[in-house]
Structure 1
Amino acid sequence: MKWYLKVIRDNYANFNGRARRQEYWMFVLFNFLFAIGIVMISGTLATMTDVPAFIGLYFIYIIAIIIPSLAVAVRRLHDINKSGWFYLVGLIPIIGGIWLIVLLATEGDRGPNQYGPDPKNVSNLEIDEIGTVS
């Protein structure tokens, strides 16, 4: 749950930096669980009250979550040293979605890359920078 809240609170529209696999996949898991919960609750309320407006709760959630979902996916791609534009690979029919899942599940680069420091190894940042010229 802390990973979901980290994406929502701290990195709502942050497309810079890197995101660990755990951050991305925990966000996806909790996002899926919340979406299922909202669908069930709004469907139950719409059925009990005969007011279909409760279905709109799901669409409000989806609209609110689009930007953080894109941001965490872009930061996840940055962790494997790929541009955020690689997210558009998912638009390729059949193979694109599979390729995107493989990219998002790939272990990130060790050490800093062009998108920032290694999010797994925050404590050793000084050691990685020893001997490098800035």
Structure 2
Amino acid sequence: MSFSDAIKICFQKYMDFNGRAKRPEFWWFALFCVVVSLVLGMASSALSTLFSLATLLPSLAVGARRLHDTNRSGWLQLLWIIPLIGWIIMIVFLAQQGSSEDNQYGSTPAN
């Protein structure tokens, strides 16, 4: 999956908390959000905040779909609230390869 495909899919599925997302979809979108937020933050913290608010829902949705791909509940994103330990756990979960077979959250996502 290309960078632009991942961004497009994440914005198209901004309210879709069902199904599964492969690693490239999640990580390309995360990179996009971080880079744009940093660039906007250099210009204006208000612009960066506005962008962060605009991408909050798509970020939560792709995060839930990514966790679903590893056969975990999207509610585990609440671990982000726990400093350091929660962050490490979430990064490990999000970086793991998804299940290669269908799981309770749907069929294996297409490449």
TM over 0.5: yes
Structure 1 runs, 4 residues or longer, greater than 3 Å off: none
What code does the residue aligned with 1:57 have?
Answer: L
Larger Rg: 1 or 2? 1
Give yes or no for the alignment of 1:97 onto 2:87. Answer: yes
Give unpaired runs (5+ residues) of structure 1.
43-54, 122-134
Paired position in structure 1 for 2:8:
5
Q: Distance in 2 between matches of 1:57 and 1:106?
A: 33
SS in 1 for 2:21: coil
Q: Distance in 2 between matches of 1:93 and 1:6?
A: 30
- Asked if 2 retains the 8 angstrom alpha-carbon contact of 1:4 and 1:31, the reply is no
Q: What TM-score does the superposition give when structure 1 sets the normalisation length? A: 0.75
Residues 92 and 59 of structure 1: is their aligned pair in 2 closer, same or farther, counting only changes over 3 Å?
closer
Mean alpha-carbon deviation: is it higher for 30-39 or for 63-72?
30-39
Give unpaired runs (5+ residues) of structure 2.
none
1:68 Cα offset (Å): 0.4
Match among 54, 57, 67 for residue 57 of structure 2 = 67
Match among 112, 115, 126 for residue 105 of structure 2 = 115
Aligned length: 108
